[in-house]
Amino acid sequence: MTFLEVRDLEVEFRVDKKPVKPIEGISFELNEKEVLGIVGETGSGKSLTAHAILGLSTLVGGKIGGSVKFKERELLSISENEMQSVRGDQIAFIPQNPMTSLDPVYRVGDQIVEGLIQHAKVSKREAKPQVIKLMERLRIPKADRVFQQYPHQLSGGLKQRIVIAMGLCTNPQLLIADEPTTALDVTVQAQIMRLFSEMTRDRGIGLFLITHDLGVIAQVCDKVAVMYAGRMVEFGNIEPVFNTPSHPYTEALLDCIPYIGMKKGSLSAIDGNVPSAGNYPSGCRYHPRCQHSFSPCGTNVPALNQIEGGTRVACHLYQGKKD
């Protein structure tokens, strides 16, 4: 049984009475207990993909198309009421910025308890020891004291742990984390990512991790989806995609990252800029920046095809070379 199956997911917004599709053609699947990373540059549609899976895009006026099946249940056709019991209960979401996603006027403990009362139908008195236990497992020092504190009294790393506790408190089966470590220092990022891996592995939770940091993806994920300008360009197991990237964009993106011991002057860059939604080029959206671009790239949209090794690639270089 596939745990999460997404087929041809798209979101349409109307801007100045014209339809704009910031994301389209997103297809992937995730097995139970797997960690999937979604990587891409700003504006590539990573967060929007997560919001669409949770049905959140409709709340801001978007139209979601395609199919999202969670444990064989189609999420896009169920009512908002039913969806609310899926959100938080089965699929939890950890938003991007812990600094702004906590309410500044409530104690952090109460904010975690609130979710637990809502979904697990427990009383406030029962919830508190559970929450403190969870906070301790997330290695929050002096958890019963932190429980009573307000967000502004906590450091960035602690706030992030609180937000993770909010996500984990209802024992979800899938956790969607949107850039959970972007705002943190490197040493704290290392702690939090390790914690993430442990918590999801121990509890058998699937993790859907959104980040622009390819290093985090490489170290944490089993599978990776690379997005560019609202479309998925490559999807597969982490080792083949990162060690022998097939799509020219994945390859170029990996070459943009300096590493310790890299020879001076050997860094390569991708010329040009990421196009914004509404200004996407025709055909393959990467073709104006692609070094391998040839005749069909400017006109035909490449389909996401499986190639040798099980990776799926949307690139004309691989069309006709089906596995």
Partner 1 sequence: MPATYIRGKKTDNMENFIEVKNLSVSFDVRAGILLRTIGTIQAVNDVSFSIKKGEILGVVGESGCGKSTLARLILRLIEPKSGSVKFDGIDIFQLSKKELRQQRSRMAMVFQDPYSAMDPRYTIFRSLSEPFQIQNSRFKNEERRKKIDDLLKLVGLDPQHGFAYPHELSGGQKQRADIARVLTLTPPFIVLDEPTAALDVSVQAQIIKLLEDLREKLDLTFLFISHDLSLVSYFCDRVIVMYLGCVAEIISADLIGEHAQHPYTKALVESIFKTKPGQKNQAPPLEGEVPSPFNLPPGCVFVSRCKYAQPICREQPPVLEKSAEAGRVACHFPLS
Min dist. Cβ of residue 31 to partner 1 (A): 18
Residue 85: CB minimum distance to partner 1, A = 36
CB of 186 to partner 1, least distance (A): 5
Q: Is residue 309 a contact point for partner 1 (CB under 8 A)?
A: no
How far apart (Å, rounded) are the C-alpha atoms in residues 310 and 323? 8
Class of residue 202 by CB neighbours under 10 A (exposed 0-12, middle 13-18, buried 19+) = exposed
Instruction: Draw the binding track, 236-255, toward partner 1 (x: CB under 8 A; -: no contact).
Output: --xx--xx--------xxx-
Task: Rule CB under 8 A: say whether 310 interacts with partner 1.
Answer: no
DSSP strands (E only) in 162-311: 174-178, 206-211, 223-228, 231-237, 304-306
x/- site string to partner 1, residues 107 to 146, per CB under 8 A? ----------------------------------------
Q: Which burial class, exposed, middle or buried, applies to 258 when counting CB atoms under 10 A from its CB (0-12, 13-18, 19+)?
A: exposed
Residue 198 found at the interface with partner 1 (CB under 8 A): no
Among 142, 262, 308, 310, binds partner 1 (CB under 8 A): 262
The strand pair at 231-237 and 206-211 is best described as unpaired
Three-class DSSP category at 253? helix
Which amino acid is it at 273? N
**In the complex, minimum distance from the CB of residue 149 to partner 1, in angstroms, rounded to a whole number:** 15
Beta pairing partners, 237: 223
In whole angstroms, the minimum distance from the beta carbon of 269 to partner 1 comes to 4
> Which of positions 41-100 make contact with partner 1 (CB under 8 A)?
41-42
In the bound state with partner 1, the residue whose beta carbon lies nearer, of 125 and 264, is: 264
Q: Cα 181 to chain center, whole Å?
A: 12
**Residue for token pair 């236990």:** 133
Contact positions toward partner 1, by CB under 8 A?
41-42, 155-158, 185-191, 193-194, 212-216, 218-220, 238-239, 242-243, 252-254, 256-262, 264-265, 267-271, 273-274
